[in-house]
Amino acid sequence: MGEREDAMFKTTGSKWLQPVGGYLGLTLEQVNFLACQLFALVAAFWFRLYLSPKHANPMVRHAVAALLGIAFLLFCFGWYSAHILAVVAVNYLLIIKADINNVHRYSMVTAMGYLTACHVTRVFIYNYGILSTDFSGPLMIVTQKITTLAFQLHDGMCKKGEGLTSEQKRLAIHVRPSLIEYLSYNLNFLSVLVGPCSSYKDYVDFIKGKHISWRLKQHPAACNGQNGYDKTPEPSPRDAVCRKLLVCCGCITFFLVITRRLPITYNADDHFVSHASFLTRLTYAFISIQAARPKFYFAWTLADAVNNAAGYGFMGMDESGKPSWDLVSNLNIIGIETATSFKTFIDNWNIQTGIWLKTVCYDRAPKHRLALTFILSALWHGVYPGYYFTFLTAIPITIAARAIRRSVRHYFLGSRAVKLGYDVVTWAATQLAICYTVMPFLLLSVDHTVVYYRSMYFHVHIISILAAVALHQKHKPREPSATNKPPPPVVSSSSSSSSAACSAQCQAVHSNNNGKVN
């Protein structure tokens, strides 16, 4: 690390815990992040038990949540936290003063533009020595929240239910938030450092104490039949928090013991690439990618536990009648590790970001939705070339995976043994495809990415493109002949409303699938 980088690090964050970092072998930024998250966990229990809606006014809860979040930013990032506070302040002025018909556009351009400018600056500061704990992480989360709120505000104040799905209607915001509500939503200590992003309406319901009672009403067995829903004891998040903290302990242990011994950059090492066999290179790539996941598992699961400890994240009662606390979960580890399709992996990884992309881009783009969503995702992550290699590579792989599944899966559903064999093969293919796709995301640079892809002979690119082209022609719809033309549709007064209802139902199911964590 050069003198310029050292100088930058000397100006950011508190140095109180520097001796701890030296003892654990972690950077000061990582230690500060960990300390704040552990403090947030303790504060979350206090927030739920002693600052509950029964004991404190919602404005007090908003203020405490926001002030603690700002304190965490200052402790971790010093004056760099000004970037986050500035973009929040500017966007609040936009939603208050700007034309409500265009507020979603203004907020998207402002928030994404500022985030991109910061990403560009970081390229020159870190020169591929990027840290996962620098100020850009909270800025990325704030960008999600700002744009989500702006689109939902536009839905509630402009569309008035017209052309909205059932989920968009539920989450629509009909009144501009006050300053303290806006600051609390964007900067609350539960999610300010690592997320996750959640909807404004769900968060406000949590602050007001309606978060759990509203979801209990969706489950008939939740009411005891005598006292009503308002008198039903709220389920405790204790078991969920303990379970997620155990997962965190396992992940951090794995990271400290295993992950450090399997550096990702070794996949692009000249000596390794030139002397190791293809099978050896493929095996190391697979193992090193698997070993890189636990640090993400740790950060996201700990953040989930913090939210649950505060009483936020209640999804409802599961099929067995037990409370589920996975509303704001960002990943499903079992779903990730056992994924048998590219889509299943994506749906279980960084779930809240996937919901955000769906909310602000995929559901609203008039055409080329898949490509635009991947491009927005890459731009949100940063400007390092590796991000764009990853997301552009994901497009043909996603198309090919859909086509292959549509073409061959039904042949393997005849018996349990055949289906098991199919699942094993598709699991291996999915994990190897994910490994190939996300490697540039971790290598970052063009040089390292090209070295890696050459060492892999671009085989996933070639297979995906060939499969997508071949199976696209196979399933291309044919023009009906004159003798086989279908009869004209019968138009009735209820056809349009039935279609809209079906569309809304499908959208709700899709949204639930994206957000579900088993």
Q: Which residues are catalytic?
A: 350, 381
CA dist 301 and 87 (Å) reads: 27
CA dist 49 and 237 (Å) reads: 12
Q: Which of 338, 272, 266, 326 is nearest to 300 (CA)?
A: 326
The amino acid at residue 64 is V
Please report where in the chains the tokens 């964050």 appear, as a residue.
13
C-beta atoms surrounding 319 within 10 Å: 6
CA atoms within 13 A on the CB side of 78: 11
On whether the CB atoms of residues 348 and 336 are closer than 8 A, the answer is yes
Kindly report the CA angle at 289 between 442 and 397, in degrees rounded to 5? 80
CA dist 392 and 345 (Å) reads: 17
CA dist 51 and 417 (Å) reads: 55
Q: Which of 267, 288, 290 is nearest to 278 (CA)?
A: 267
> What is 135-195 written as a DSSP string?
THHHHHHHHHHHHHHHHHHHIIIIITTTT--HHHHHH---SPPPHHHHHHHHH-TTTTTT-
CA dist 15 and 10 (Å) reads: 9
CA dist 197 and 333 (Å) reads: 19
CA dist 144 and 190 (Å) reads: 15
C-beta atoms surrounding 94 within 10 Å: 20
Q: What is the sign, positive or negative, of the torsion defined by CA atoms of 168, 170, 174, 175?
A: negative
Helix or strand or coil: residue 196? coil
Q: Measured in whole angstroms, how far is the alpha carbon of residue 107 from the centre of its chain?
A: 20
Please report where in the chains the tokens 């992950």 appear, as a residue.
259
On whether the CB atoms of residues 187 and 73 are closer than 8 A, the answer is yes
All residues at 6 or more sequence positions from 382 whose CB lies less than 8 Å from its CB, including other chains: 119, 122, 123, 130, 136
Please report where in the chains the tokens 């996937």 appear, as a residue.
354
Q: Which residues share a beta bridge with 324?
A: 316
Kindly report the CA angle at 327 between 167 and 206, in degrees rounded to 5? 85
